[in-house]
Amino acid sequence: MAVTLENGVAVPVLPRVDQIPLGELSMMRRELTGLAKAGRQANLEPAGFTVSNLGMLNVDNFIAIINPPETAILAVGSIQKRPVVGEGGELVIRDMLTMTLSIDHRAVDGALAARFINTIKDRLENPQALVSGC
């Protein structure tokens, strides 16, 4: 994950993030953010994937650059209310955000990346799946 600092950005590593329950992951993120802001790094393992959220700085969308040896980075923009067509064809207002996935095609197939971003989309649209792990 990318952490904004006064003089730049730090990228603390969350090892084996795919095996960590969501609640524990949230606590680890807070701890690692605090360490990074204090100028300390808890883990010196190289990262494989980064999430960069400029949405909290009111950036609608952006393209993040992969930092080797990583193979991908997910850029997350701000949540905005937008008109969309609902399931019944009616116009509704929904919270929407833009995500952009940059990948190194030498390491990741584009079709796999598309399935990954669609899984994220599905989980955000169905948050109960985040808690149940379905």
Which CATH superfamily groups domain 3-104? Chloramphenicol acetyltransferase-like domain (3.30.559.10)
pLDDT recorded at residue 91: 97
Does residue 35 sit in helix, strand or coil? helix
The catalytic residue positions are 105
Lowest mean pLDDT among 46-60, 79-93, 119-133: 119-133
| Cα–Cα distance measured from residue 110 to residue 113, given in angstroms and rounded to the nearest whole number | 5
| Cα–Cα distance measured from residue 102 to residue 72, given in angstroms and rounded to the nearest whole number | 5
Higher pLDDT, 2 or 102: 102
Query: In the chain, where are the structural domains located?
Result: 3-104
Bridge partners for 51 per DSSP: 74
Distances (CA, A) of 107 to 15, 72, 73: 19, 9, 13
In this structure, are strands 8-10 and 80-85 parallel, antiparallel, or unpaired?
unpaired
Higher pLDDT, 109 or 3: 109
| Cα–Cα distance measured from residue 95 to residue 79, given in angstroms and rounded to the nearest whole number | 6
Q: Is the whole-model pTM more than 0.85?
A: no
